[in-house]
């Protein structure tokens, strides 16, 4: 009888430890909520939500890349620590257990941000969430298209088209379109960041037809912006047409002379 109760007591203790291990070690989830793209110089709040069930919080650590820049520990005096990292300006009044606010973000702060949540003793279990932040420049201006001439005269002189766009960081990828048809990049020339050229030898369109040429500046996943369309007409010199007219005239003269000779019209 005594042995039984001692056995069940130790069993209870064992079960208690197991349940403590199970419930005490679990963080249910960590979620990072923040904008994907913000403008340079703006203020951005990164929010870290977590579900610890009943376990007390030990620490929330924030990283940009591999570098920790902010830590919240409820038992700390003070509970916040900011680690100095160039370009990271923390607004302490907007930062706490569940969020950190960054002021005046520079362009080169784009990258991976991570929040890492650790539950309290005895297990200090840890879970993290991460997301990319992209910082873009303000008011990117439209690229512009310059053409060597708005009338393409001959097949001898190629039509030259340039696209000049703002030199952003990273630099844009420039794409030409002729009547909304993308020009294969093998026909374009790279003149450096934000400047590309296109040479059209023989226009792939019929005479007297007008085509619209535009270009697009793209940084994949960050922005794309199009120029206005520029019209180019293919209107060859009327040399061949003139020659044809001359031969028509010659033909007409011969015919007239023939008529005169045959019918003796005077």
Q: List residues near ligand NAG by CB under 6 A.
A: 86-87, 106, 108, 112, 130-132, 146, 148, 160, 162, 173, 185, 191, 197, 207-208, 235
Residue (of 69, 75, 29) closest to 49 by Cα position: 29
Please report how close the Cβ of residue 136 comes to ligand NAG at its closest, in angstroms. 15
User: Please, which residue, 112 or 250, has the CB nearer to ligand NAG?
Assistant: 112
User: Please, which residue, 112 or 246, has the CB nearer to ligand NAG?
Assistant: 112
Give the CA angle between residues 110, 116, 120 to the nearest 5°.
160
User: Please, which residue, 18 or 36, has the CB nearer to ligand NAG?
Assistant: 36
Distance of CA 116 to the CA centre of its chain: 27
User: Please, which residue, 6 or 182, has the CB nearer to ligand NAG?
Assistant: 182
Please report how close the Cβ of residue 181 comes to ligand NAG at its closest, in angstroms. 14
Please report how close the Cβ of residue 76 comes to ligand NAG at its closest, in angstroms. 26
Please report how close the Cβ of residue 208 comes to ligand NAG at its closest, in angstroms. 4
Please report how close the Cβ of residue 106 comes to ligand NAG at its closest, in angstroms. 6
Bridge pairing between strands 173-178 and 159-164: unpaired
Please report how close the Cβ of residue 95 comes to ligand NAG at its closest, in angstroms. 19
User: Please, which residue, 58 or 113, has the CB nearer to ligand NAG?
Assistant: 113
User: Please, which residue, 55 or 162, has the CB nearer to ligand NAG?
Assistant: 162
């Amino acid at each position: 009888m005594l042995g039984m109760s001692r056995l069940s007591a130790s069993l209870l203790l064992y079960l208690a430890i197991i349940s403590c291990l199970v419930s005490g070690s679990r963080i249910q989830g960590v979620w990072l909520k923040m904008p994907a793209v913000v403008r340079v110089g703006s203020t951005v709040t990164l929010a870290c939500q977590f579900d610890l069930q009943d376990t007390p919080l030990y620490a929330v650590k924030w990283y940009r890349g591999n570098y920790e820049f902010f830590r919240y520990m409820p038992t700390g005096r003070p509970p916040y620590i900011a680690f100095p990292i160039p370009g990271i300006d923390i607004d302490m009044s907007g930062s706490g257990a569940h969020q950190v606010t960054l002021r005046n973000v520079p362009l080169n702060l784009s990258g991976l941000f991570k929040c890492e949540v650790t539950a309290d003793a005895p297990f200090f279990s840890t879970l993290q969430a991460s997301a990319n932040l992209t910082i873009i420049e303000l008011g990117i201006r439209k690229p512009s298209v310059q053409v060597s001439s708005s009338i393409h005269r001959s097949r001898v002189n190629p039509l030259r088209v340039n696209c000049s766009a703002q030199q952003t960081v990273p630099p844009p990828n420039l794409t030409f379109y002729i009547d909304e048809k993308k020009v294969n990049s093998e026909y374009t020339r790279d003149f450096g960041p934000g400047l590309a050229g296109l040479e059209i030898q023989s226009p792939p369109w019929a005479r007297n037809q007008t085509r619209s040429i535009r270009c697009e500046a793209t940084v994949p996943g960050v922005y794309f912006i199009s120029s206005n369309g520029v019209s180019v007409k293919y209107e060859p010199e009327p040399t061949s047409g003139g020659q044809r007219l001359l031969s028509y005239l010659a033909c007409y003269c011969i015919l007239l002379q023939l008529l005169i000779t045959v019918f003796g019209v005077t």
